[in-house]
Chains A and B, each alone.
Chain A
Amino acid sequence: MKADPAGVLTGAHYLDGDFACGEGAMAAGCRFTAGYPITPSTEVVERISRRFPMMGGTFVQMEDELASMAAVVGASWTGTKSFTVTSGPGFSLMMENIGLAVMMETPCVVVNVQRGGPSTGLPTMTGQADMMQARWGSHGDYELIAMSPQSPQEAFDLTIDAFNLAELYRVPVLFMMDECVGHMTEKVVIPPADEIEIVPRKLTKSKPGDFEPYRANGQMVPEFARAGDGYRFHTTGLTHDERGYPEMSAECQDKLVRRLMDKINGNADKIVRFEEEDTDGADVVVLSYGITARVAREGIDLAREKGVKVGVIRLIVVWPFPEKRIRELAGTVKAIVVPEINYGQMVLEVERCAAGRCASVCVPHGGGGVHDPSDICDAIMGAVK
């Protein structure tokens, strides 16, 4: 369906990534936000709290990130689209209830404006070192979706996509910005509401007596009933059967967790999203995401000037990872070079998929800034030697 115009600030704006992300959430139909202030993400909720009262949205500043995430999961069960926003230390606290959202199959979006870590790290400076935490941060086996924008414009556009994916797969979608994009101000064009496609919360058509909250019916994603519509359903963070009742058995665990993973893995082809350029006949492919993807293009230009054929992969959806494509590329290029603002996280996925058929080259940056494009060029040159 088309977006509710109440949440869409149509026009050409000059916005930072944080504000653009907030606008994206409102355009996507988000009407509940719980948050706790943390640099460099706070501007998102500042934007939301200023605009929500005019569109029927409620923002509440909770006592901490544990509470914020719990409130978001609770609110989403009313059918109200919900999200929260944080950075590293808060992201760590949210892991508990991100796991609950996975287990209860609750659509929601969690924005992490990444800063340097570990611990308090570099509150005001950029990082991309939470990428593996996004994938593995909560305990247990699970799959979810994570995205990474490279500009304020994408912070707007992809936030809408994040909400849509959360609805389609009933899963938390982690929006992995970096401080650089979050605090960077650029032109952001917000289209008219009738040009924005949103996925509404689809409610079950079953009658209350016939409804079982986790009966997948051959689909991978079960139907949803919201609190207050008379379904009197039960949901729990415990391993549960199709009725949502706890069942402590290896069989039930296998059936449930397998489906939770399969609904993402089995749809990976539809979820995976990346930009690809000049990979045909390339000697080297540079794979990056977020702000690093922009900076890398300067390094790539330098290497091309020196005669190297360089292809580009820019991850837009980071999790699930585009395994299939990376496996293919590994058979055709000498190396995949991965600059990222950490000491080597997504490069591990590249290495796993390449499985020794091409070199995987990590171009690390500890955080607090972005790569010097010449370092990326040097890594490319080193890889073709």
Chain B
Amino acid sequence: MSRTEIRITGFGGQGVVLSGYIIGRACAIQAGKHATMIQSFGPEARGSACSTMLAVSDTEVLYPYIGRPDVFVAMSTEGYDKYADELKDDGTLIYEQNLVHPTLKEGQPSFGVPSTRLAEQLGRAIVQNIVMLGFVAAVTKMVTHAEMRGAVEASVPPGTEALNLAAFDAGWDYYEQEYGDKKGEAAAAASSGA
């Protein structure tokens, strides 16, 4: 019955919905779980706090919306401000560290990544969301590296696979370097920085 709720937010054009779509697809198709994604629509979807939510479960997802997410991914300040309070007290915060300056809470695992800079290093800032996705995949390990990578490959526009996979790897590797061996310590350090 384990159910994981995820909220991803950012500004319009950052690829928020695609990130959610890839995670959902990796869970539902590659990993054979149940994953329901709902994206925000209308003016909200175009503004600076665009958002998408996912409910992932081993059993059928009945209630499609999320209440208090277990994982919150923030790629813009406005999105962070709008949704930060929903995050479960022990939920995981993941953020673009050059764009979002979170107020870290005691006991809350949090992980920052300079995804925009990493994307720029690959030559295309537009793949920032995929760098972030690689990082999120590494932090949460909700599906395997291969499953999430497979979903990226299947979801991005044809011809852009190599770039996007490189972006995914950059995000994943960043996690391994910065937090990999000493995950607990890093999170604790991040929390105590609050």
Is B188 engaged at the interface, CB distance under 8 Å to the other chain? no
Residues of chain B lying within 8 A (CB to CB) of residue A14: 21, 24-25, 28-29, 35, 37
Is B42 engaged at the interface, CB distance under 8 Å to the other chain? yes
CB pair A183–B65 under 8 Å, yes or no, is no
Given contacts A14-B21, A184-B36, contact A369 B65 (CB under 8 A): yes
Contacting residues of chain B (8-63) with chain A, CB-CB under 8 angstroms? 21, 24-25, 28-29, 34-39, 41-42, 44, 61-63
Is A373 engaged at the interface, CB distance under 8 Å to the other chain? yes
CB pair A183–B38 under 8 Å, yes or no, is yes
Bound: A295/B65 CA distance, A: 10
Bound: A381/B39 CA distance, A: 34
Between-chain CB contacts (< 8 Å), 24 pairs:
A12-B29, A14-B21, A14-B24, A14-B25, A39-B42, A40-B41, A124-B42, A180-B64, A183-B41, A184-B64, A185-B24, A185-B39, A186-B34, A186-B37, A187-B28, A187-B29, A187-B34, A291-B64, A294-B63, A294-B64, A298-B62, A298-B63, A370-B63, A370-B65
Is A2 engaged at the interface, CB distance under 8 Å to the other chain? no
Residues of chain A lying within 8 A (CB to CB) of residue B42: 39, 123-124
**On chain B, which size bracket covers the interface?**
10 to 19
Is A297 engaged at the interface, CB distance under 8 Å to the other chain? yes
CB pair A186–B35 under 8 Å, yes or no, is yes
Residues of chain A lying within 8 A (CB to CB) of residue B36: 184-186
Contacting residues of chain A (12-45) with chain B, CB-CB under 8 angstroms? 12-14, 39-40
With both beta carbons as reference points, the residue of chain A lying nearest to B64 in the complex is identified as A184
Residues of chain A lying within 8 A (CB to CB) of residue B41: 39-40, 124, 183
CB pair B63–A187 under 8 Å, yes or no, is no
CB pair A187–B35 under 8 Å, yes or no, is yes
Residues of B within 8 A of A (CB): 21, 24-25, 28-29, 34-39, 41-42, 44, 61-65
Closest 9 A/B residue pairs (Cβ):
A124-B42, A14-B25, A187-B28, A124-B41, A185-B37, A294-B62, A298-B62, A297-B62, A186-B36
Residues of chain B lying within 8 A (CB to CB) of residue A183: 38-39, 41
CB pair B28–A295 under 8 Å, yes or no, is no
Q: How far is the CB of B52 from chain A (nearest CB, A)?
A: 9
Interface string of A114-140 (1 = CB under 8 A from B): 000000000110000000000000000
Bound: A123/B41 CA distance, A: 9
CB pair B38–A184 under 8 Å, yes or no, is yes
Residues of A within 8 A of B (CB): 12-14, 39-40, 123-124, 180, 183-187, 291, 294-295, 297-298, 369-370, 373
Residues of chain B lying within 8 A (CB to CB) of residue A373: 63
With both beta carbons as reference points, the residue of chain B lying nearest to A179 in the complex is identified as B41
Bound: A369/B66 CA distance, A: 12
Given contact pairs A14-B29, A295-B62, enumerate 11 new A-B contacts (beta carbons under 8 Å).
A14-B21, A14-B28, A14-B37, A180-B38, A183-B38, A186-B24, A186-B37, A294-B63, A298-B63, A369-B65, A373-B63
With both beta carbons as reference points, the residue of chain B lying nearest to A369 in the complex is identified as B65
Q: How far is the CB of A370 from chain B (nearest CB, A)?
A: 7
Residues of chain B lying within 8 A (CB to CB) of residue A291: 64
Bound: A373/B62 CA distance, A: 10
Residues of chain B lying within 8 A (CB to CB) of residue A294: 62-64
Given contacts A14-B24, A14-B29, contact A184 B37 (CB under 8 A): yes
Residues of chain B lying within 8 A (CB to CB) of residue A13: 29
Bound: A45/B25 CA distance, A: 23
Residues of chain B lying within 8 A (CB to CB) of residue A39: 41-42
Q: How far is the CB of B12 from chain A (nearest CB, A)?
A: 15
Residues of chain B lying within 8 A (CB to CB) of residue A186: 24, 28, 34-37, 61
CB pair B64–A370 under 8 Å, yes or no, is yes
Residues of chain A lying within 8 A (CB to CB) of residue B65: 369-370
CB pair B38–A185 under 8 Å, yes or no, is yes
Bound: A298/B21 CA distance, A: 25
Bound: A40/B44 CA distance, A: 14
Bound: A180/B36 CA distance, A: 11
